[in-house]
Amino acid sequence: MKKMFKRVSSLLLILILMFSLSVPAFAAELNFLGRKTNFSVNSNNMVTATDLFGNFKSVMPGDTLTEIVTITNLAVDCDYIKLYIRAVAHGAQNAPLIGEDIAKMNDFLSQLSMEVYQGTKLIYSGSPDTLDGFANNVYLGQFRKNQGTQLTVNLQVPSSLGNEYANMAGEVDWVFTVESYNEAGKLIQTGQMNWPVPVLLGLGVLALAAGLFMVSRKRKDNA
């Protein structure tokens, strides 16, 4: 499969864990729509348009929460994509969108623990302030149109988390990168599945003929 054309599209997601503020939680969907449109995020979160962590709000000590993120390739302008994920640390060059003090926010996040699974494969484990397995691009797979993958994100809040963290919010930045490919080296396939018709018919007639021969031969032997 020769790589003809590759374009890289990235989406920086600001994922927000909020210790207070109750907001409705909905399913999180990330769709790649193509080279021109890039990504769409369906989370219906009230915090930001790209916040996939709808279930990580009103976090309380002792909570174990799960967010399932479904990622689907809906592009029609490429044959398939390769998908990657990585995390971006906050610092002077990357201030959190929610306006929290970076040191305080990272301190809050360091109290929590997060695991990310792709299927049964653990691809990230650590406190959300660390990059852990997401320090570099992690390959999530190759997907044709309407194919995709799911990430299961588990967040654990220690029961010992103190009141000093009340009303805190934490932000995690994930970057999804897509490489889109077209299969080159061949003219468009513009044929119906015609060839099996005569093949099946021919084989069917042969099988019928063989069957009739065997059955009639048996009758002759009995005669």
Partner 1 sequence: MHNRKAGIAFLALGAVLIISALLLLRSNTLQDRQAGEYSLDALDGIQAAIAENSAAAATPQSQESPEPSEEPEDESGEMKTVTIDGNDYIGYLSIPELELVLPVISDWGWDYNRLQIAPCRQQGSTKTDDIVIAAHNYDSHFGKLKDLSLGDSLSFTDVMGKCIQYELKKLETVDPHKVDYVLDSGYDLVLYTCTYGGEFRVVGFFDRTEDTTKK
Instruction: Assess 223 for contact with partner 1 (CB under 8 A).
Output: no
For position 186 contacting partner 1 by CB under 8 A, the verdict is: yes
Binding mask 68-107 for partner 1 (x = CB under 8 A): --------xxxx----------------------------
146 interacts with partner 1 by CB under 8 A: no
Q: Which of residues 191-210 bind partner 1 (CB under 8 A)?
A: 191-201, 203-210
Q: Is 47 exposed, middle or buried (0-12, 13-18, 19+ CB in 10 A)?
A: buried
Output 95 or 201, the one with its CB closest to partner 1: 201
Which tokens hold the place of 194? Answer: 């015609």
- CA angle centred on 84, ends 118 and 25, rounded to 5°: 55
Read off the DSSP letter of residue 46. S
Q: What CA–CA distance (Å, rounded) separates 113 from 75? A: 34
For partner 1, which stretch binds (CB under 8 A), given 12-20, 95-103, 162-170, 177-185?
A: 177-185
3-class secondary structure, 69: strand
Positions in the binding site for partner 1 (CB under 8 A):
76-79, 182, 184-201, 203-215, 217-218
